[in-house]
Amino acid sequence: MKAVICRELGPPSVLRLEELPDPVLEPGQVRVRLHAAAVNFPDILMVAGGYQHKPPLPFVPGFEAAGEVVECDAAVETAKPGDRVIVHLRTGGYADRAVADAGSLLPMPATYSFEEGAAFLVGYSTAYVALVRRGRLAAGEVLLVHGAAGGVGLAAVELGKHLGARVIAVVSSAEKAAAAREAGADDTIDTASGRLRDAVRELTDGRGADVIYDPVGGDAFDESLRCIAWGGRLLVIGFASGRIPALPANLALLKGCSVIGVRAGEFARRDPERGAENYRDLLRLAEAGALRPRVYRTLPLAEFEAAMALVTERQVIGKVVIKPE
């Protein structure tokens, strides 16, 4: 098999495309020929050694992929060769083949391409756990989404609108604002204005946002505490800005707000029953046409470093996908 392998920690330049022995099929597992894998910011953090999950070296990066089942262990009853599937991985996606537990597979929505399937799970499961399970977003509430043109941001815009919220998208360009509106945002705020707090107050008649979805951290988190509504919920998704902020407890006190951590993968691992329910709900919405990932660019597997650079440089609207040749 061909795979991108990490043998030492560092920037994406430490990675190499190599030929490796096919992984052994263990009991309860399936072998999948991968047709596409999404590039996520945590992939870059993991290669650098800065992500909470630190797999032993060497490892193949890649959280999410899509492909076709080619082989199943004899005990597997939930999949068969020829099935088009989404594969949920902790590592292993940047390759042309992968072995995974049968329980980690999801059926591909009928109208999805492999590229869309690969770009589906991380963004939408993060948004679902954040908005439904942790944030308990209600119809009619105001949802503020930071990084709204990225993969997890657009998913939150789309799902938030489906849940009946008024969605305000925070973006950094006119092109990204247009993409957020296409996904369902009612209003957009450009970060270049430097007026986040004032803009949110103007749009909400001084009330603030009920739920704030923050995969950015840094200044976005600091400003969020100043424009959150009384009793609001600030959802901590990640720190794409590179700065992990500190919480001024006095602002949490004055606003009566909650700061809530969101880890979608850990949620499913600790509560498999509700995790499976999350995936069923998301697949139902995908089949109904309510959710559709936006694929910004597709590159060959050999160009993995360029694909990762697009994510690092924040050029991406939606997701970047790499495809084995």
Question: What amino acid is encoded at 99 in this protein?
Answer: V
pLDDT for the residue 241: 87
**pLDDT tens-place string over residues 214-260:** 999 999 999 999 999 999 999 999 998 889 999 999 999 999 999 99
pLDDT for the residue 52: 86
Share of the chain above pLDDT 70, in %: 100
| Domains of the chain from N-terminus onward | 2-120+294-323 (3.90.180.10), 123-265 (3.90.180.10)
Q: Against a cut of 0.75, is the pTM above it? A: yes
Q: Which residues make Cβ contacts (< 8 Å) with residue 10, sequence separation at least 6?
A: 47, 48
Report whether pLDDT(313) > 90: no
pLDDT for the residue 192: 86
Q: Confidence class of residue 101 from pLDDT cuts 50, 70 and 90?
A: very high
The encoded tokens of residue 319 equal 């997701």
Q: How far is CA 45 from the centre of its chain?
A: 14
CB 76, CB 15: distance < 8 Å: no
Maximal CA-CA distance, the chain: 61
**pLDDT tens-place string over residues 8-64:** 999 999 999 999 999 889 999 999 999 999 999 999 999 999 988 899 999 999 999
Give the separation between CA 164 and CA 168, rounded to whole angstroms: 13
Report whether pLDDT(289) > 90: yes
Q: Confidence class of residue 314 from pLDDT cuts 50, 70 and 90?
A: confident
3 state SS for the chain: CEEEEECCCCCHHHCEEEECCCCCCCCCEEEEEEEEEEECHHHHHHHHCCCCCCCCCCECCCCEEEEEEEEECCCCCCCCCCCEEEEECCCCCCECEEEEEHHHEEECCCCCCHHHHHCCHHHHHHHHHHHHHHCCCCCCCEEEECCCCEHHHHHHHHHHHHCCCEEEEEECCHHHHHHHHHHCCCEEEEHHHCCHHHHHHHHCCCCCEEEEEECCCCHHHHHHCCCEEEEEEEEECCCCCCCCCCCCHHHHHHHCCEEEECCHHHHHHHCHHHHHHHHHHHHHHHHCCCCCCCEEEEEEHHHHHHHHHHHHCCCCCEEEEEECC
**pLDDT tens-place string over residues 126-145:** 999 999 999 999 999 999 99
The encoded tokens of residue 246 equal 């500190």
**pLDDT tens-place string over residues 151-176:** 999 999 999 999 999 999 999 999 99
pLDDT for the residue 169: 98
Give the separation between CA 183 and CA 274, rounded to whole angstroms: 26
**pLDDT tens-place string over residues 200-214:** 999 999 999 999 999
Q: Confidence class of residue 76 from pLDDT cuts 50, 70 and 90?
A: very high
Mean pLDDT along residues 83-112: 95
